[in-house]
Amino acid sequence: MYDDMLEEELNKIIETSNNNILITDQDGIILYSNPKLWEIYGMKSDSYIGTSVYQLESEGLLAPSINAIVLKEKKAKRIMQETKTGHVVMSTGYPIFNKEGRLVRVISYGQDQTEILQLQDQFEQLQRKVKGYQTEVEDLREKELDYHYLIARSNETKHILKTIHNVSKTDATILLLGPSGVGKSTFARAVHDQSNRKKEPFIEVNCSTIPESLFESEIFGYEPGSFTGANKQGRQGLIEQADSGTLFLDEIGELPLAMQAKLLKVLQEKKIKRIGGKKENHINFRLVTATNQDLKEMVSQGKFRLDLFYRLNVIPIQIPALHERKEDIPLLIQHYLEKTNDKYQKFKKIHPSTYEVLTHYHWPGNIRELENLIERLILTIEEPIIFPEHLPQSITGQVEPSEDSTFLAIEQECEENFDLKKTLEKVERQLIAKAWKKCKTTYEMAEHLGISQPTVIYKLKKYKQYL
C-alpha cells in the first residue's frame, strides 16, 4: 500500500515537473517519463514505458540517447540532441548507484533549447545589424564631418572630393592649385578631417603674411635667449605644433628661398632644430600646401627650388575658378545666405531672378567674393527679399548671357505687369531678337524656334525696330 502510494506520488511529481524527465533501469528500460518530453521528439507520451532506450536510439528517435551514454560511462553526462521535429534539446543524465555501488537507475533531464537558440540567433543577427548600422552612422558622421562645409554639385568639384577621399588616409603630400578665393584652405581642412590624423592639430600657415625677417623663428621656433627680444622661455615653431597632425602651408610660392632649403631638409630628414638650439627633434606631420602661382614657372625663374617642387608636387589637385563650376554657385549662395542670416539674426531671402544673375556672373574673386557679397547684401538691403536691382552695378553689368535670361524676363515682367498679351509679346520679341543674333538664316531661325520659315519672316518684319 505504501509502495503504491509512493509510486503514485513519484509519477505525479514527474508528470507535473517543468523539466522533461526520463528514468530508466540498469538495462535502459524506460520506467518513468514526463509527457512533455515526448512532445519534443514528436512521439506519443504513453507508448514508450517499458521500451528500451537502445531500441529508440536505433530507430533514430533518441539520437543519441543520454541514458544509454550514462549507462555505458557510469557518470553524469550532458549532450545536445537534434530531433526529427527540428528541436534542439540539451539532455543531462545522472547515474544512481545502490549501496553496493551497482548502477541501478539513470535519470535524465531534457531542456528544449530551440527557442533559446532561435532567440540567440536573432540576437546575433540583431547585433550584426546594429554593428552595421553603427558602421553606417560612423560613415555618415565622417562624411558629414568631411563635407559639411564643402559644396559639390558640379562634376569638377565632385571629382576633387573623390580624389581627396582617396588620398586622405595616406600621408602623401598634396599640392592644391587654383586662383585666390576658390577655397583651397577649405579643401586642405577636408584632407585633414578625412585622414587618420583628424584628432590631431591642423596648423594653417599663410606664407605671404609672415615677414621674411620673422619667418624662420615662426616656422622653426627658438630656444631661450636666442636673439634680442626673444621670449625668455623660448618658443615652439609652427612645424612643431603640427606634430602628429597636418601642416598646411598656404601661398607656398611666397616662401623665401632660404626657408625653402630648410623646409626641404625637414621633409627629407623628419627632424627639426629650433633657432639657437643644438638638439634635433624628430617630427611627424602630414604636409598640405597651396598656391595660386605657377611653381614650374617660378622654378625656371630661379624663384623656387626644383627639388622642393618635386617634394611638394606628389599629388597636385587643381581647383577651378568659381565661374568654371557654375552648378555650385546656387548652393554656395544658399549656404552663405543661411550662414550670414544666422550670424546676424536676419531673415533675408534671395529672389530666384537674383540667383540667376549671380550664377552667370564671372566671379573674379571666386568664393571669397561671393561670401563677402552675400554678407554685404544682408546687412545693407532693408527689404526682406533681395532682387537683381539690389546688386552692385559691377555685377549686373558683367553678367554673362544666359539661355535662361528670357525666362527671367518673363518672371520679372509678370511681377510688374499682369497684361498677358503684352507680356507674351515682349517675350516673343526677345526670343526673335536672340535667334536673329544667333542664327545665320531664316531657315535656321525657324528650326531653332520651332516655327515655320514664313512665320519667322513675318515676326522679323513685326519686330524690325527692336533688332
Q: Of residues 138 and 337, which shows the higher confidence score?
A: 337
Q: Which region among 159-173, 250-264, 409-423 has the lowest average model confidence (pLDDT)?
A: 409-423
Per-residue pLDDT reduced to its tens digit, 268-327: 999 998 888 888 889 999 999 999 999 999 999 999 999 999 999 999 999 999 999 999
Report d(CA 455, CA 439) in Å as an integer.
Answer: 15
What is the band of 416 on the pLDDT scale with cuts at 50, 70, 90? low
Evaluated on CA atoms 195, 201, 202, 207, the torsion sign reads: negative
Average pLDDT (86-109) is 87
Is residue 281 within 8 A of residue 239, CB to CB? The reply is no
What is the band of 399 on the pLDDT scale with cuts at 50, 70, 90? low
Residue 230 has what DSSP assignment? -
Q: In the prediction, which pLDDT does 145 show?
A: 41
Q: In the prediction, which pLDDT does 5 show?
A: 63
Q: In the prediction, which pLDDT does 146 show?
A: 41
- The pLDDT of residue 175 is above 90: yes
Phi, psi of 105 (to 5 degrees): -145, 155
- The pLDDT of residue 2 is above 60: no
Report d(CA 434, CA 446) in Å as an integer.
Answer: 12
Evaluated on CA atoms 426, 431, 435, 437, the torsion sign reads: positive
Q: Which segment, 231-240, 362-371, 401-410, is predicted with the most confidence on average? A: 362-371
Per-residue pLDDT reduced to its tens digit, 40-74: 776 766 667 888 888 888 887 777 888 889 988 99
Is residue 239 within 8 A of residue 219, CB to CB? The reply is yes
